[in-house]
């Protein structure tokens, strides 16, 4: 069974006819053409598929596309504006927090959510670790990712 849903992806309105069984990840990748979010585990364990729905971090592989009806979706592609990386993206590059890059779109969205949530608040490294606990990286190591988050918190 299909359903027409409407949402915005990175600020652009989309009206789509989707299979009600489709995950948001599949719709983003296969219909919308946003392939930044990746499918790692497909069961909500690795965070490679992380996107923001109404500014909340979700695992899009286990978030039904129909649940996104009327909502605002942000993916890693939308964080780069007018060719300029976001402070989070820039910090990941500068701190060497990327190797193969498979997990990076999900981490960047988790860090973006962290930055927006902890803006103007005090936080610790444990807060960073906890708020990224749903994201797994198999190759970089987490220290450089934590450093990237810390650097991004000092920038606009």
Binding site for ligand FES (CB under 6 A): 39-42, 44-49, 59, 61, 98-104, 137-140
Among 103, 7, 123, which residue's Cα sits nearest to residue 64?
A: 7
Using only C-alpha atoms, the chain has a radius of gyration, in whole angstroms, of: 15
Q: Which residues pair with 12 in a beta bridge?
A: 9
Cβ neighbours, 10 Å, residue 32: 20
Task: Kindly tell me which of 4 and 30 has the beta carbon lying closer to ligand FES.
Answer: 30
Task: Kindly tell me which of 4 and 100 has the beta carbon lying closer to ligand FES.
Answer: 100
Task: Kindly tell me which of 36 and 47 has the beta carbon lying closer to ligand FES.
Answer: 47
Distance in Å, CB of 119 to ligand FES, minimum? 25
Distance in Å, CB of 113 to ligand FES, minimum? 15
Angle at CA 38, nearest 5°, toward 36 and 42?
Answer: 155
Distance in Å, CB of 4 to ligand FES, minimum? 25
Q: Which residues of 81-110 are buried (b: 16+ CB within 10 A; e: fewer)?
A: eeeeebbbbbbbeebebbeeebbbbbbbbb
Distance in Å, CB of 28 to ligand FES, minimum? 12
What count of Cα atoms within 13 Å lies in the side-chain half-sphere of residue 131?
23
Task: Kindly tell me which of 39 and 69 has the beta carbon lying closer to ligand FES.
Answer: 39
Distance in Å, CB of 147 to ligand FES, minimum? 14
């Amino acid at each position: 069974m299909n359903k027409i849903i409407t949402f915005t992806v990175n600020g652009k309105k989309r009206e789509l006819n989707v299979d009600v069984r489709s995950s948001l990840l599949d719709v983003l990748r296969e219909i919308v053409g946003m392939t930044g979010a990746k499918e790692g585990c497909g069961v909500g364990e690795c965070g490679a598929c992380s996107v923001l729905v109404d500014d909340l971090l979700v695992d899009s592989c286990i978030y039904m596309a129909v649940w996104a009806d009327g909502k605002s979706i942000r993916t890693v592609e939308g964080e780069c504006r007018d060719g300029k990386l976001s402070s989070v993206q820039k910090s990941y590059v500068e701190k060497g927090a990327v190797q193969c890059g498979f997990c990076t779109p999900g981490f960047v969205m988790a860090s973006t959510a962290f930055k927006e949530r902890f803006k103007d608040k005090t936080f610790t490294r444990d807060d960073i670790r906890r708020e990224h606990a749903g994201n797994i990286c198999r190759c970089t190591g987490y220290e450089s990712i934590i450093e990237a988050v810390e650097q991004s918190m000092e920038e606009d």
